[in-house]
Amino acid sequence: MKVAVIGANGQLGSEIVATFAGNGAAVRALDHSHLEVSSLESVTRCLSELEPGLVINTAAYHHVEKCEADAALAFAINGLGARNVAQVSQSLGAKLIHISTDYVFDGNKRVPYTEEDLAAPLNAYGNTKLAGEFFVRSSNPRHFVVRVSAIYGLNPCRAKGGLNFVELMLKLSREREELRVVDDEFVTPTTVAEIAKQLVVLSETSEYGLYHATAEGSCSWHEFARAIFDLTGTKVRLERARPGDFPAKVPRPKYSVLENSALKARGLNLFTNWKNGLENYLAQRDGSKS
Ligand SMILES: NC(=O)c1ccc[n+]([C@@H]2O[C@H](COP(=O)([O-])OP(=O)(O)OC[C@H]3O[C@@H](n4cnc5c(N)ncnc54)[C@H](OP(=O)(O)O)[C@@H]3O)[C@@H](O)[C@H]2O)c1
């Protein structure tokens, strides 16, 4: 099967390319220089040449503050861009995997969100990603809309720049004696390696629809930092952030834990506890350095 991966040099896209290629797919890795998703003409030209059986769209404008500052641009990429990819993949007879986000929720729940829960985004990023979901669902019936959350992997997120959370914590622990990390925002950290494997399994089915795809369990960012330091034997004083230590410029969900109900209902769920993913990431990272 020919697979076209959009956003192929991104944090998630690069892992998807490697995993699908490792699974025997003929992968075409498309980065921003190959196509601009907000342009229907660009998407049509690029994908028509390739004639893929499966398109995977990881491209997004997802720096939350930048989205808030330029919601029109965010909508052009996250909303209309998703529509363009969905329309073109449909016209080519290709399946589509579209990556979305936990930020479609407002975070007011205290038990994990299922696919049945009402989306109510708090910010422009979440709103434009939700618009993208609707465009995909109405433009290509052979779609998998896959919401992921708090992802990390060997390649950093291009939109956010800098290091992923694990690397940032380890770097700061070398530079400081004490670290303060927020304890009132709950997520499920999930490695891109786990997501990519799950997408391979999903892509081989015809179980189209909306999916949550995160590791099991949940933690605050403070608990995540604690686990990173415990597993790496790092000695640093880890404190809870005080109110006002990290004032949010844009509202974000305080609780965005997702339940993989749809994957589980179909017997497709591969994810295990987020701590297993962290252990595997740390081993992989050490292996890639030696
Ligand atoms: N990072 C997270 O924690 C997180 C959490 C929840 C959901 N997600 C979702 O997961 C997906 C992947 O995230 P990621 O962390 O892998 O992001 P990333 O590292 O920033 O990668 C995004 C990729 O998309 C490309 N791209 C951006 N705008 C484009 C456009 N207009 N046309 C074509 N390509 C474009 C980027 O290229 P350039 O960099 O060259 O522009 C980059 O290759 C996104 O859909 C995001 O909404 C991420």
Please indicate whether residue 125 is annotated as part of the active site.
yes
pLDDT for 290: 57
The pLDDT of residue 247 = 82
pLDDT tens-place string over residues 154-205: 998 998 888 999 999 999 999 999 999 999 999 999 999 999 999 999 999 9
Q: Compute the distance between CA of residue 221 and CA of residue 246 in angstroms, rounded to an integer.
A: 13
pLDDT at 19 over 60: yes
Q: In the structure, which protein residues have their CB atom closer than 6 angstroms to any atom of ligand 1?
A: 7, 9-13, 31-32, 35-38, 58-62, 77, 81, 99, 101-102, 129, 148-151, 157-159
- Predicted pLDDT of residue 190: 98
Q: Which one of 61, 125, 211, 255 is the catalytic residue? A: 125
- Test site for ligand 1: of 46, 127, 151, most ligand atoms within 8 A of the Cβ: 151
Cα of 234 from ligand 1 centre, angstroms? 31
Atom of ligand 1 nearest to the CA of 37: 32
For residue 99, the CA-to-ligand 1 centroid distance in Å is: 9
CA of 82 to the centre of ligand 1 (A): 12
Task: Residue 96: name the closest of 206, 18, 17 by CA.
Answer: 206
Over residues 257-279, the pLDDT tens digits come to 999 999 999 999 999 999 999 99
Checking if the pLDDT of 288 tops 80, the result is no
Averaged confidence pLDDT in the chain = 96
CA 288 / ligand 1 centre spacing (Å): 23
pLDDT confidence tier of residue 1, bands split at 50, 70 and 90: confident
Report the pLDDT value the prediction gives residue 285, as an integer from 0 to 100: 87
Taking the C-alpha atoms of residue 277 and residue 190, their distance in angstroms, rounded to an integer, is 7
Res 289 pLDDT > 80:
no
* CA–CA–CA angle 74, 88, 214 (5° rounding): 55
pLDDT tens per residue across span 218-253: 999 999 999 999 999 999 999 999 878 888 899 999
Q: Residue 225: what pLDDT?
A: 97
pLDDT exceeds cutoff 80 at 54: yes
- Provide the whole-model pTM: 0.97
Residue pair 267/208 in contact (Cβ under 8 Å)? The answer is no
